[in-house]
Amino acid sequence: MSYTRDAIAPDATAVSQDKTLQVSDLNVYYGESHILRNVDLSVPAGQMVCLIGRNGVGKTTLLKSIMGLIRPRSGAIAFDGAVINSKTPDQRAKLGIGYVPQGREIIPRLTVKENLLLGLEARRNSKHSKEIAAEIFELFPVLKTMLSRMGGDLSGGQQQQLAIARALMGQPRLLVLDEPTEGIQPSIILEIEAAVRRIIATTGISVLLVEQHLHFVRQADYYYAMQKGGIVASGSTSELSQDVIQRFLAV
Amino acid sequence: MLIGLFDGLFNGISIGAVLLIAALGLAIVFGLMGVINLAHGELMMLGAYTTFVVQNAFRQFGEPFFEIYIFFALIAAFFVTAGVGLILERGVIRYLYGRPLETLLATWGVSLILQQFVRSVNWVLVIGLAVFCVLFFGGLWILNHRQNRAFHKWAIAALLPLSLGIAIAVGRFLADTYQLAVTRPWFGAQNVDVSAPTWLRGGLPLGNFQLPYARLFIIALTIVCVAGLYYFLQRSPWGLRIRAVTQNRSMSSCLGIPTQKVDALTFALGSGLAGVAGCAISYLGSVGPNTGQNYIVDTFMVVVVGGVGKLVGTIVAALAIGTVNYLVGSGTLAILFTPIQPLADFFTFFATTSMAKVMVFALIIAFLQVRPGGIFPQKGRTVDA
């Protein structure tokens, strides 16, 4: 870890309070292969930002770096104006980053209820509440009927809903979603989409989303397109042109 | 006939209880964390020595207190070994997660160190160690809390020989001044004997044989430990965290679970259970520096046969191995098969303690050929992760 530059990049004065997340000049390597190249990205408070790009361009790597699962070689990741490069994943979760990874990563041999209760770990204050808030079941009614089932026995769509619910249990200020619709039947995709939209409307949290599904991408306020480990295009999703879609979405 | 079978069953279960209580800590450390801790037997040995120390302390208080020392010994053994386990995890094992071969060698080394430690521990050694720890780790603490980071590495480099030198000098000075009073080993290489309080001696008469109270006590203790452990893992918040980290470490940390704390706690818990087991085995025979080695193979066997990561498997395997071991070793099976002469001859051949072990091992090898994952193998996606 001696190569991790904890020092902030010179232009990090640009880190401001109204950006929930600001990634500046991030470089990530797996061994000697250069995965992320000078990535700049920011998520404004209360907005939904979508990251698009074909398979293998580094989208998941970027999210993992934000979560702290991968150590960047250089660059800064700032959350709420404070650089969090040296923080471990559990510290970042406690700061208010809720992570829904690719493949859901539900703990298989724990019940749905226990999986949800694990989401409380990210909360800093409320040690007393051991109850699952009613809003969770309003968003995902299917979970209410399955509380005593093992997490690993749920279907893919149910697991995805559980993973989002689990992240919400920690009352995050930034929700990081990695391909929440991957490999899920269309009717459930619509449910998940609606839930995410409702979360943003009711709680006002920021969302960083990696998505291939065009319909979902259009829900976002802003998009970044990645290619070969770098950000190559960005803009408001209302201006998302057919050309960009053709080039960066694997449809 | 029936009495004989009942006797065999009771003895088998009591051997199984000893195996189980010894394997319980290992089932957590090896089964849940995947750490092969060869020093587990030595942690049991430390628990047994703690019992010995507590017993000697209570003997000075006189008769009524001596009767209940065992409960204090259990608590003390738990916390002493949990503390040693914590130091072991923080100092050695946490650098070796995911590297089973290195862990194996390192913990074996630790087991040798612990064995020699109880042989040669005396006041000089203890005071020297204490002085060294205070100087070195105190110095490190001060260095880490200083703002000025210049010369940081050099200061550490100077600190180590300095504190080592002072510690050795203090030890030499003490040894020269007080002579034998401080250089005599506390325990020495000889075995020591833990005597049970009077209410644990004798046995419950039942027909023409009796159930020894010491064995009944160990069975009860095992049941309490299993129930307590089960309750802790299934019901407490830390138990939930331990189960989560066991199944998916990186996602657990992304959820905000402090995985390092969970590792340390799990290891300390497993070590503490080894201490309780050490307390229990101190009533089965005398306690020596090599006591732990007699148990380490058996306990690993129990965990592997039961299925790694499954407490239920550990329980079933311990009881099964204990019962088979006794039924074969005591010749009960040989008597049972008297009508069939060849079978009776066969079991008579194995009807000694060591030959019974040979048979149990052979059975286990055969069993693991059929079911490599043990009695209750892990199923599903967790296996590959």
Rounded distance between C-alpha atoms, residue B285 and residue B291, angstroms: 9
Residue A207, pLDDT > 90, answer yes
Contact at CB, B254 and A89, closer than 8 angstroms:
yes
Across the range B88-107, mean pLDDT stands at 90
What is the per-residue pLDDT for B117? Answer: 93
Assess if residue B303 is contained within a domain: no
| A91-114 residue pLDDT tens | 999 999 999 999 889 998 899 999
Pairing relationship of beta strands B209-212 and A74-79 according to DSSP bridges: unpaired
**DSSP characters over A136-172:** HHHH-HHHHTTTTSBGGGS-HHHHHHHHHHHHHHT--
What is the per-residue pLDDT for B364? Answer: 92
What is the per-residue pLDDT for B385? Answer: 37
Residues of B in contact with A69 (CB under 8 A): 250, 254
Rounded distance between C-alpha atoms, residue B321 and residue B12, angstroms: 8
A90 touches chain B (CB under 8 A): yes
**Cα–Cα nearest to A162, from A103, A106, A90, A97:** A106
- Of the candidates A69, A93, A109, the beta carbon closest to that of B255 is on A93
Q: What interhelical angle do B259-281 and B213-235 show, nearest 10? A: 170
CA contacts within 13 A on the Cβ side of A248? 29
CA contacts within 13 A on the Cβ side of B325? 25
Assess if residue A1 is contained within a domain: no
Q: What angle do CA B58, B63, B69 make, to 5 degrees?
A: 35
Size of interface A-B (CB pairs under 8 A): 68
Q: Map residue A211 onto helix, strand or coil.
A: coil
Residues of B in contact with A110 (CB under 8 A): 240, 243-244, 247
Rounded distance between C-alpha atoms, residue B229 and residue A84, angstroms: 37
Residues of A in contact with B255 (CB under 8 A): 90, 93, 99, 118-119, 121-122, 166, 170
Contact at CB, B256 and A110, closer than 8 angstroms:
no
Assess if residue B367 is contained within a domain: no
* Total residue length of chain B: 385
ipTM: 0.86
Assess if residue B334 is contained within a domain: no
Assess if residue A113 is contained within a domain: yes
Residue B113, pLDDT > 80, answer yes
Contact at CB, A108 and B247, closer than 8 angstroms:
yes
Outline where chain A has alpha helix (H): 59-67, 89-95, 112-118, 134-139, 141-144, 156-169, 186-203, 214-217, 242-248
User: What's the pLDDT band for B30 if we cut at 50, 70, 90?
Assistant: confident
| B216-254 residue pLDDT tens | 899 999 999 999 999 999 999 999 999 998 888 899 999
- Of the candidates B244, B380, B381, the beta carbon closest to that of A118 is on B244
Contact at CB, B257 and A121, closer than 8 angstroms:
yes
What is the per-residue pLDDT for B1? Answer: 63
Assess if residue A232 is contained within a domain: yes
* Cβ neighbours of A250 (radius 10 Å): 8
Assess if residue A123 is contained within a domain: yes
Across the range B129-143, mean pLDDT stands at 89
Residue A82, pLDDT > 70, answer yes
Residues of A in contact with B381 (CB under 8 A): 108, 152
Q: Chain A: nearest CA to B288, how far in angstroms? A: 41
User: What's the pLDDT band for B308 if we cut at 50, 70, 90?
Assistant: confident
Sequence-distant (≥ 6) Cβ neighbours of residue A81 within 8 angstroms? A15, A16, A17, A19
Nearest CA in chain A to B262: A90
Residues of B in contact with A84 (CB under 8 A): none
What is the per-residue pLDDT for B214? Answer: 86
User: What's the pLDDT band for B46 if we cut at 50, 70, 90?
Assistant: very high
Q: Which residue has the tokens 């306020």?
A: A221
Assess if residue B87 is contained within a domain: yes
Cβ B106 vs Cβ B93: under 8 Å: yes
A114 touches chain B (CB under 8 A): yes
Q: Map residue A16 onto helix, strand or coil.
A: coil
**Cα–Cα nearest to A130, from A143, A146, A114, A141:** A114
Rounded distance between C-alpha atoms, residue A90 and residue B376, angstroms: 32
Across the range B352-374, mean pLDDT stands at 88
Residues of A in contact with B251 (CB under 8 A): 101, 105, 107
User: What's the pLDDT band for B178 if we cut at 50, 70, 90?
Assistant: confident
Q: What angle do CA B197, B203, B208 make, to 5 degrees?
A: 165
- Of the candidates A89, A109, A166, the beta carbon closest to that of B382 is on A109
Contact at CB, A105 and B251, closer than 8 angstroms:
yes
A196 touches chain B (CB under 8 A): no
Residues of B in contact with A121 (CB under 8 A): 241, 255-257
Q: How many domains is chain B built from? A: 1
Q: Which residue has the tokens 């010179």?
A: A10
Lowest mean pLDDT across A131-135, A136-140, A233-237, B148-152: B148-152
Residue B285, pLDDT > 60, answer yes
Assess if residue B40 is contained within a domain: yes
Q: Chain A: nearest CA to B266, how far in angstroms? A: 18
Contact at CB, B255 and A94, closer than 8 angstroms:
no
Cβ B188 vs Cβ B119: under 8 Å: yes
Assess if residue B363 is contained within a domain: no
Residue type, B32: L
Expressed in angstroms, the distance from the first to the final Cα of chain A is 39
Cβ B311 vs Cβ B229: under 8 Å: yes
**Cα–Cα nearest to B276, from B65, B71, B94:** B71
Residue A188, pLDDT > 90, answer no
What is the per-residue pLDDT for A19? Answer: 86
Nearest CA in chain A to B382: A108
Distances (CA, A) of A101 to A61, A62, A210, B303: 11, 12, 10, 33
B260: burial class by Cβ within 10 Å (0-12, 13-18, 19+)? middle
Across the range B51-75, mean pLDDT stands at 88
Sheet holding A48-52, edge to edge: A97-100, A174-178, A206-210, A48-52, A222-227, A230-236
Across the range B165-186, mean pLDDT stands at 85
Rounded distance between C-alpha atoms, residue B232 and residue B272, angstroms: 14
Across the range B164-171, mean pLDDT stands at 90
Q: Chain A: nearest CA to B247, how far in angstroms? A: 6
Q: How many domains is chain A built from? A: 1
Residues in A 133-162 with any Cβ partner in B closer than 8 A: 152
Residue B189, pLDDT > 50, answer yes
Domain with residue A147: its CATH number is 3.40.50.300
Assess if residue A2 is contained within a domain: no
Residue B381, pLDDT > 60, answer no
Residue A145, pLDDT > 60, answer yes
What is the per-residue pLDDT for A130? Answer: 72
Which residues in B242-255 are b (16+ Cβ under 10 Å) and which e? bbbbbbbbbbbbbb
Domain that holds residue B105: 22-121+185-295
Assess if residue B138 is contained within a domain: no
User: What's the pLDDT band for B196 if we cut at 50, 70, 90?
Assistant: confident
Contact at CB, A89 and B253, closer than 8 angstroms:
yes
Domain that holds residue A33: 10-248
